[in-house]
Structures are given as structure tokens and as C-alpha cells.
Amino acid sequence: MKRLPTTLAIGFLFAAIPATAALPPKYQRLAELKAILESSEVQALLPDDQQVDRIEYVRPDLYRVSAGTCFLPVAIVERPAPAGMVGPRHFDVIPGELDCPAEATE
């Protein structure tokens, strides 16, 4: 019976510690896609008369956003987490140079 209060106290201690973990890969990808769609920098580079048609995964940390005839590479750049912190990956969305090949031939 003496162990029960000690065990309960230890259990409550662990329950009080906030625990966050890295996101599973599919949820991390969703977080990156959402960040790309919500990025004001990405939206500012796309032509006003075009909307995002597709976001393609090219390779880790690189996506290709299609809007009409234009393409925009978008990089995911990891930000360092504060010392001792764990949890979801912190990153920035960095758009590349807009390429509109069909417009150049017209």
C-alpha cells in the first residue's frame, strides 16, 4: 500500500510535463502544403488572373506550384528549434522564381 501514493505521484508528474513530438510524415506534408497555400509571398508572385491549380512534390523540401501556365518552385527551409525543444518541425516557405513559359512565346 505504501507504493500506491508514490506511484500516483510519479504518474501525475509525468502527466504534467507537456509532450509534443514530431509530426508523422503525412501530417508534416499536409502542414507544408497548407503553409504554401497560405503564404502571402507565394500568392504575391502568382499572376493575378491565375489561381493555384496544383502543388507537386518534387523532392524533400521542394514543391512546384502550378497556376495556369506558370510554375513556381517553393522550398521548405527548416528553422532551428529552440534548445531543448521537441515537437513539430519549424520551417519557412521560400518561393523561387516564377516561370511562365507560354506567356514568353505569345
What confidence tier does 45 reach under pLDDT thresholds 50, 70, 90?
A: very high
What confidence tier does 103 reach under pLDDT thresholds 50, 70, 90?
A: low
* Rounded Cα gap, residues 61 and 49, in angstroms: 27
- pLDDT for the residue 71: 96
Residue 29 burial by CB count (10 A; 0-12/13-18/19+): exposed, middle or buried? Answer: middle
* Rounded Cα gap, residues 61 and 25, in angstroms: 12
Is the per-residue pLDDT at 41 higher than 80?
Answer: yes
**Tally of CB atoms within 10 A around 3:** 7
What confidence tier does 5 reach under pLDDT thresholds 50, 70, 90?
A: low
SS3 2: coil
What confidence tier does 53 reach under pLDDT thresholds 50, 70, 90?
A: very high
Q: What is the mean pLDDT of residues 66-75?
A: 95
* Rounded Cα gap, residues 65 and 70, in angstroms: 8
Is the per-residue pLDDT at 97 higher than 90?
Answer: yes
Q: What is the mean pLDDT of the chain?
A: 84
